[in-house]
Amino acid sequence: MDVFQLLWLIPALPFFSFLILSLSGSKFSRTGVGVFATISVGISALITLIIGIQFLSSPPAGHFYEQTLWVWFDVAGFKPSIAFYLDPLSLVFTFVVTFVSFLIHWYSIGFMKTEEGHVRFFAYMNLFVFSMLMLVLANNLLLLYLGWEGVGLCSFLLIGFWYKDPYNCYAARKAFIVTRIGDTAMMVGLLMLVKNFNTLDIASILTTAPQTWSPGASQAFWVTILLLGGAVGKSAQLPLQTWLPDAMAGPSPVSALIHAATMVTAGVYLIARTHVLYELAPAVQTLVAIVGAATLLIAGFSAIVQRDIKRVLAYSTISQIGYMFLALGVGAWSAAVFHFMIHAFFKSLLFLSAGVVIIAMHHEHDIFKMGGLRKKMPVVFWTFLFGAGALAAIPLITAGFYSKDEILFFAMASTKGSTWLWLAGFVGAFITSVYTFRMVFVAFFGEQKHDIPYKPGISFKIPLIILGILSLIAGFIELPHTFGHFTPFSDFINTVFPAVQLIPEKEGMELTLQISTAVLALFGVFLAWQLYMKRPQMVTRFKETGFGKRLNDFLFSGWKFDWLYDTFFVKPFVWLSKIDKSDFVDRIYGGVANLNLYFNKLLSATQNGNVRSYVLGVALGAVIALTIILFL
Amino acid sequence: MQIIFYIAALVAIVSTAMVITRKNAVHALLYLIVSLLAVSVIFFVMGTPFVAALEVIVYAGAIMILIIFAIMMLNLGQASEKREKEWLKPRTWIGPGILAAILLAELIYTLNSFSPPAHEQAIIDAKDVGMSLFSTYALGVELAAMMLMAGIVGAYHIGHEKQKEYHRYLQKEEEL
Amino acid sequence: MIYVPANMGLLLAAILFLLGLIGVLTRRNVLFILMSLEIMLNAAGLAFVVAGAHWMQADGQVMFIFILTMAAAEVSVGLALILQMHRHHKTVDTNVLNLLKD
């Protein structure tokens, strides 16, 4: 049997699990719900693995496989179908989504053990996995958009999971509305594509676009910039990045799955998927790189001053996705996807570890109230350290080094790259290493501030250990030219993407760049050790100076973007709606209603229940009738 | 001899006016009987002896007796007279009086424009009425019979003192 | 028998009718209202008979008989209603019976 025919089962299984859980979840036992949800995602992951092995050992013709289930609708020649498209790019995403989801579901069994509404939680998680898989497997952009909105919905539902706290609901609404801005732009982009090509089928758009549009065509410019709008909304890039730090109001597994590993990288997937269009619009592609570079710096600086462990991780997520955008912008498609995969492993690991720490600390998020956790929770410490190492790109031993190094090299050496972009990434790498190890040192080293009797269970540990190992070794599938030159990953995925155009004279700089990046990362760790372990008073003293305090506040609030949007968009809008509340059109309708009420009052006065007044009415009527007959 | 008509008419008007102004229901009823008798006289002098007899037998007889029974069953007594006095304030008469005056003026105006030619009058006795009733108006008789039947059944059903069987939820209301 | 001018007879009927109407409008006691209704019905019957006599037709009297029948039926049902009203509400005041208002 052709294993590719099982493709539809990959999204279908989580969906069926969602249906069963949402319809009859209360009939399961408490752990039964979690185990059921986990197994459904696990089987999806298994099928992905089987299909992946098949794909690697005997690739289908043209390096893609398409499975059409049925035609969705057929209107005036526009007929999108429910169909899946599997190529190396979507295979990588599917693999990461199912596999990371499986581990996070597993972890959630323990995490949700004592929480209220665990059925709701697992149902939403399954729905999310389904939507995300629809997104990455869709063969047309409309189905992709369905999954896109589906993950947005699940994100909203899961951020507001603890809906009894109004702050969580606020965060959920904020995430939903901010991403909606991007989604609207994306929808307009899709409509433009429909108008130009009368189809949303990805493969046919990508083949016909270069024939109809010349490079730099204004159509291509607008379509790609609108799609970029959707991507920056979903992936929390500048200028729509403000929702992600607040989205940390959701449970830790949600942050790990949706707001670190999978959903927020949907923007990366979208751009990678439509890379042909971006190559037709070089201006927009440069913009992607600039957005990525600016975002990674802004988010990185904000991460340095955060106190909430999950907010640090949120800003680091924004920053890492910034790297992916940088890679996309310089045309290093495979490097972006590679970094996405590595990032999914180590960032979900960091979030899950943080979740264990937070549970152990009785829902304390402030890293400065932790401290000394190293001895109490060795497994969590080591896994967190692996994740942090990968995030900070500790050279040679961590996966993050290989992926980030590749991006930095291409930022410099690609024909679309520049020294400035490289410099942004380079500084960003340094900041990343500082804030990551600040978190590690403050939370896990030093003196223990609270007694923690809590011991994480086995269901927490296994996913952590698996992800920890992956964070270390996953990088070895893509070794740089200077170091082994073993590149099965990019060989595999480059059947989708064109190769990166390198500037010949900069090609030789690779080793120099690698060494400088490695040294810088280690120096960042050393600086964090100096600042937060050896001389913490230096930092506090700097914070007490006027400039330091203001700088700290500025960075803490995420460069005041919330304030900016509040002042320029929210408040004028609220003001407008307030003055528009009593507009004259309303008055017309209100007047009609009031007139009716007035007549009702008049008429109901006649219905006073007094028989004699009815008689009076009859007599008056007789008088009037008679008068009319006689005198008119 | 038209004077008999005018005297009877005057009696009818005066006694009717007394009916609507009395405070004691029995007094009012007696005036009503006088009024009906006066109308009966008018019928007689107009040459319609059959309806004159019916007026006395059915109206002044049967219907008024029915009302007397009702008054006796209600047993209103002295208190009701006092109450009637309270209810009948002079100003309550103003509105209806004006209304009636307007209607009357209009009717007089109408009747003035209608001046019938004076011609012979003949007695229309019971035989003529019966012939007409059971030929032309046979259907009307049937309907009247059915209406009377309905009246009897309705009156029995409504006036019947019902067995007080309330639903158990409504028993409290019964006690009130 | 004597000659009665038809418009005089009709005028009498009108006056009696209006007196009945005044009675209905002014009295609060439901018994008086019923009596006033009888007056009005009687006046209507009088008008029919006068008209019938004027045209020397039996139809006027036939109508009077119908009115008489109706009055009898109406009084019997009306009195039954008054009795029930008095039994349940212990009053004959129509102003009290305004439960039908909205």
Q: Could you report the per-residue pLDDT of B91-111, keeping only the tens digit for each?
A: 888 888 998 998 899 888 888
Nearest CA in chain B to C2: B45
- Provide the pLDDT confidence category of residue A1 given band limits of 50, 70 and 90: low
**3-state class of A115 per DSSP?**
coil
Q: How many domains does chain A have?
A: 2
% of chain A beyond a pLDDT of 90 = 19
Q: How many Cβ atoms are within 10 Å of A142's Cβ, its own excluded? A: 21
Contacts of B126 (CB under 8 A, 6+ apart): B49, B50
Q: How far apart are CA A234 and CA A270, in angstroms?
A: 10
Query: Does A394 score more than 90 pLDDT?
Result: no
Contact A158, A124 (CB under 8 A): yes
Domain boundary among A526, A558, A590: A558
Which single residue is written with the structure tokens 């997937």? Answer: A269
- For residue B55, the number of C-alpha atoms closer than 13 Å in the C-beta half-sphere is 28
Which residues of chain B have a CB within 8 Å of the CB of A630?
Answer: 106, 109-110
Q: Of A183-197, B69-83, B157-171, give the range with the top mean pLDDT.
A: A183-197
**Contact with chain C for residue A610, Cβ under 8 A:** yes
> What confidence category does residue A332 fall into, taking pLDDT thresholds of 50, 70 and 90?
confident
Q: Is the pLDDT of residue A90 over 60?
A: yes
Residues A551 and A619 in one domain: no
Higher-pLDDT residue of A239, A189 = A189
Domain that includes residue A616, residue range: 582-631
Residues 6+ apart with CB under 8 A from A557: A563
**Are A474 and A614 within one domain?**
no
CA torsion through residues A61, A62, A63, A68, sign: negative
* Interface residue A615 vs chain C (CB under 8 A): yes
Question: Peptide bond preceding B96: is omega within 30 degrees of 0, i.e. cis?
Answer: no
- The better pLDDT of the pair A477, B115 is held by A477
* C64–B144 CB contact, under 8 Å: no
Q: Residue A48: what residue type?
A: T
- A411 plus A540 within the same structural domain: yes
User: What is the structure's pLDDT at A306?
Assistant: 86
Q: Are B99 and A630 within 8 A, CB to CB?
A: no
State the DSSP H helix or E strand holding residue A66, giving kind and residue range, or none if neither. Answer: strand A65-71
Residue C47 three-state SS: helix
- Residues of A whose CB is below 8 A from C99: 609
- When divided into structural domains, chain C yields a total of 1
CA pair distance A353, A356, nearest whole angstrom: 5
Residues 65-94 of C with CB under 8 A from A: 94
Statement: residue A295 has pLDDT above 60: yes
Q: How confident is the prediction for chain B on average, in pLDDT?
A: 84
What ipTM goes with this model? 0.90
Is C61 close to B50, i.e. CB distance below 8 A? Answer: yes
Spatial separation of the C-alpha atoms in residues B97 and A624, rounded to whole Å: 16
Same domain, A506 and A602: no
B103/chain A closest Cα distance in angstroms = 6
Checking if the pLDDT of B165 tops 80, the result is: no
Q: Is the pLDDT of residue A283 over 80?
A: yes
- Which contacts (CB < 8 Å, 24+ apart) does range A608-613 have? A608/C98, A608/C101, A609/C97, A609/C98, A609/C99, A609/C100, A609/C101, A610/C94, A610/C95, A610/C98, A610/C101, A611/C33, A611/C94, A611/C97, A612/C24, A612/C25, A612/C28, A612/C33, A612/C94, A612/C95
Do A311 and A208 have their domain in common?
A: yes
Whether A237 and A303 share a structural domain: yes
Mean of all residue pLDDT scores within chain A: 86
Cβ contacts of A607 on chain C, cutoff 8 Å: 100-102
Residue C36 has pLDDT above 90, yes or no: yes
Q: Which residue of C has its CA nearest to B29?
A: C35
Confidence check: pLDDT of A563 > 60 = yes
Contacts of B110 in chain A (CB under 8 A): 630
* Alpha carbon distance A427, A300 (integer Å): 9
* Percentage of residues of chain A with pLDDT beyond 70: 99
Instruction: Please answer yes or no on whether C99 and A612 come within 8 Å at the CB atom.
Output: no
Q: Are residues A547 and A586 in the same domain?
A: no
Report CA-CA distances (Å) from A47 to A11, A17, A55, A243: 10, 16, 12, 34
- Is the pLDDT at B117 greater than 70? The verdict is no
Rounded to an integer, the average pLDDT of A219-228 is: 90
CA distance linking residue A554 with residue A564, whole number of Å: 12
A115: phi then psi, degrees, rounded to nearest 5: -85, 150
Chains touching chain A through at least 3 C-beta pairs below 8 angstroms are B, C
Please report the pLDDT score of residue B159 as a whole number.
Answer: 80
Does residue A227 sit in the same domain as residue A311? yes
pLDDT at A128 over 90: yes
pLDDT value at residue B13:
94
Mean pLDDT for C25-54 is 91
Closest CA to A260 of A383, A355, A171, A120: A355
Q: What is the pLDDT of residue A449?
A: 72
pLDDT at position B115 over 80: no
pLDDT of residue B74: 83
pLDDT > 70? residue A410: yes
Q: Is A484 exposed, middle or buried (0-12, 13-18, 19+ CB in 10 A)?
A: exposed
Report pLDDT for B107.
86
Kindly report which listed range (A4-8, A54-58, A142-146, B119-123) carries the lowest average pLDDT score.
Answer: B119-123
Domain holding C70: CATH number?
1.10.287.3510
Q: How confident is the model at residue A604 (pLDDT cuts 50, 70, 90)?
A: confident
Predicted confidence at residue C101, as pLDDT, reads 60
Range of the domain at C46: 31-91
In a domain, C96, yes or no: no
Q: Considering the domain boundaries, does residue A417 fall inside one?
A: yes
Specify the pLDDT at position B9.
Answer: 93
pLDDT for the residue numbered B164: 60
- Is a pLDDT exceeding 70 seen at residue B1? yes
* Residue A65 pLDDT > 90: no
Q: Is the pLDDT of residue A147 over 60?
A: yes
Domain boundary residue, one of A521, A543, A558: A558
In a domain, C22, yes or no: no
* pLDDT recorded at residue B162: 65
Q: Which amino acid is at A372?
A: G
Mean pLDDT within A222-238 = 89
One domain, residues A625 and A492: no
Residue A379 belongs to a domain: yes
Give the closest-approach CA distance of C44 to chain B in angstroms: 12
Q: Is residue C61 part of a domain?
A: yes
What number is the average pLDDT over the span A432-451? 83
Residues of B in contact with C46 (CB under 8 A): 39, 42-43
Between A508 and A20, the higher pLDDT residue: A20
A338-376 pLDDT, tens digit each: 999 999 999 999 999 888 888 888 778 888 887 777 777
Instruction: Give the one of B59, B97, B131 whose C-beta lies nearest to C68's C-beta.
Output: B59
SS3 labels along A569-592: HHHHHHHHHHHHCCCHHHHHHHHH
Q: How much is the average pLDDT of A198-220?
A: 86
Q: What's the pLDDT at A187?
A: 93
CB atoms within 10 A of CB C85: 19
Q: What integer is the mean pLDDT of A486-503?
A: 80
Rounded to the nearest angstrom, the minimum Cα separation between A601 and chain B is 24
In a domain, A72, yes or no: no
Average pLDDT over residues A204-228: 87
Contacts 24+ apart (CB under 8 A), A469-473: A469/A386, A470/A345, A470/A349, A470/A399, A471/A342, A471/A345, A471/A346, A471/A349, A471/A386, A471/A387, A471/A389, A471/A390, A471/A398, A471/A399, A471/A400, A472/A386, A472/A389, A472/A390, A472/A397, A472/A398, A472/A399, A473/A399
Whether A31 maps to a domain, the answer reads no
List of chain A residues whose C-beta atoms are within 8 Å of the C-beta of residue B96: 616, 619
A242 or B120, which is more confident? A242
Residue that is last in its domain, among A543, A558, A573? A558
B174 pLDDT more than 60? no
- Do the chains contact at C82 and B70, CB–CB below 8 Å? yes
Closest CA to A111 of A40, A31, A15: A31
C55 assigned to some structural domain:
yes
For residue A334, tell me if it sits in a domain.
Answer: yes
Same structural domain, A170 and A242: yes
Does the residue A37 lie in any domain? no
Find the mean pLDDT for residues A309-318.
90
Partners of chain C (3+ Cβ pairs below 8 A) = A, B
Q: Residue A406: pLDDT above 90?
A: no
Binned at pLDDT 50, 70 and 90, residue C19 comes out as very high
Instruction: Note the pLDDT of residue B173.
Output: 53
For A18-22, B64-68, B120-124, which range has the lowest pLDDT when averaged over its residues? Answer: B120-124
Q: What is the DSSP string of A1-31?
A: --GGGGGGHHHHHHHHHHHHHHHHGGGS-HH
A472 and A596 assigned to the same domain: no
